[in-house]
Each structure stands twice: as C-alpha cells, then as structure tokens.
Amino acid sequence: MDKMKATYETMLALVAEMVLDDAVLKFRTERIYRDIDLALASGDEDTFHRLAEQLNALRFSH
C-alpha cells in the first residue's frame, strides 16, 4: 500500500508541475503580447523585433 501511495503522490506532483508550467507559459506569453502591443503603439521597432523573437523562442521551446 505504501508503494501505491508513493506512486499516487508522485503523479500528483507531476500534475501540479504541469499545471504550474502551463500557467507560467500563459503568463509570459500574455506579457510579451502586451509589450508587443505597446512597442507597436509607440513605434519602437527594435523592441518589437526583440519581443517577437522572444515569443517565437517561447512557442517553439514548448
């Protein structure tokens, strides 16, 4: 029974980690989109390109 409990706790920890990773990814993505919008509104082309690269790296790393 202890082995089953340990397995269950391990699975719960993995699910919790996946949920947290998803939340962090969503937060970072939304923040980059917001900052891209600000860069576009202010005409800051360099910041736009830097943020677009960050967004692409974030998308393709997951």
What is the pLDDT at residue 1?
66
Query: How many angstroms from the chain centroid is the CA of residue 22?
Result: 6
- Using CA atoms, how far apart are residues 20 and 25, in angstroms rounded to an integer? 9
Structure confidence by residue, pLDDT tens digits, 37-54: 999 999 999 999 999 999
What is the pLDDT at residue 61?
83
* Domain boundaries of the chain, sorted by first residue: 21-62
State the DSSP string of 28-56.
Answer: HHHHHHHHHHHHHHHT-HHHHHHHHHHHH
5-18: average pLDDT: 95
> What is the pLDDT confidence band of residue 24, given thresholds at 50, 70 and 90?
very high
Asked whether the predicted pLDDT for residue 36 surpasses 70, the reply is yes
